[in-house]
Each structure stands twice: as C-alpha cells, then as structure tokens.
Structure 1
Amino acid sequence: MRWAFILGIAVILAIMTVYEWPKMKREMKKEKTAFAVLTVLGGILAFLLMFYPEMPGPTHLMNAIYKPLGTIFEK
C-alpha cells in the first residue's frame, strides 16, 4: 500500500514539472533552479514522511527556531 502512495507522489511531482517547466522562459535560470530544488526537497520530505510518519515536519523546525525569539519580543 505504501508503494502506491510513493508512486502517487512521484506521479504528482512529474505532472507538476511537466506542467510548469515549459511555462518558464529559457532566460529564467534562477527560477528554474529554485523550482527544481524546491520540488526535489518537497519530494524527499514527502517520501521520508511516508516511511517515518513520527518524524517532525518543517513546522516543528520553524517553532524551534522562532519560539525563543517570540519569548524575547513578548517581554
């Protein structure tokens, strides 16, 4: 059953890339790089969360970073 979800994630990532990549002009190298990096990182995160659902997500990281700043600014 997990492999069906993995295949589904891969198909969605492929569809996103096939749909968006031709819309970007040839000169948009930074945008293409950013799109590729974010797509790969999102895919890796989705695959990891598939195999390790108890793994903390990106919101836990943001809370760990910004919670101390929030307590400083509340005073």
Structure 2
Amino acid sequence: MKWGSVVVVTLAVLFMIGYEWPKFRQYSKREKRAFAMLTALGWVLTLLLVLFPDLPGPTQLVDFLFGPFGKLLE
C-alpha cells in the first residue's frame, strides 16, 4: 500500500510540473530553479512521511533544541 501512495504522489508531482512548466517560459532561470527545488523538497518530504509516518516533526525538533533553555528559565 505504501508503494501505491508513492506512485500516486509521484504522479501528482509530475502532473503539477507538466501543467505549470509551460507557463514558466516567460520567467527567468532563477524562478524556474526555485520552483523545481521547492517542488523537489516537497516531494521528498511527502515521500518520507508516507514511508515513515512515525518520523518526528518540527515541533519535536524545537522541543529538543530549546528544551534545556526552557528549564533554565523556569
């Protein structure tokens, strides 16, 4: 089932790129590169969450980083 989700997410990203890319002909290379990088980052994060749903999120990272400082302030 997970691989089916991976295929669906990948097809959705490819459809999005195929739909949006012709509109990017008038934009600069920098904007095209930004679109490609943000799309790739979103695709990778989505695949990680599909394959490993128990991964800690950003809230757990902030708690880990700033937890000791919070205890000092109490």
Give the structure, 1 or 2, with the largest relative contact order (CA under 8 Å, sep 6 or more).
2
1:15 counterpart letter in structure 2 = F
Structure 1 residue ranges (4+ consecutive) displaced by more than 3 angstroms after TM superposition: none
Structure 1 unaligned regions, length at least 5: none
CA-atom RMSD in angstroms = 2.2
What's 2:22 paired with? 22
Instruction: Report the TM-score when normalising by structure 2.
Output: 0.73
Percent of aligned pairs with the same amino acid: 38
Match of 1:45 in 2: 45
Q: 1:13 Cα deviation (Å)?
A: 0.4
**Residues 40-66 of structure 1, C-alpha deviation per residue, up to 9 Å, x if partnerless?**
111100111111111133x427x82xx
Please report how far the alpha carbon of residue 26 of structure 1 lies from its aligned counterpart in structure 2 after TM superposition.
4.9
2:2 counterpart residue number: 2
Q: Which structure is larger by alpha-carbon Rg, 1 or 2?
A: 2
Read off the aligned partner of 1:23 and give its amino acid letter.
K
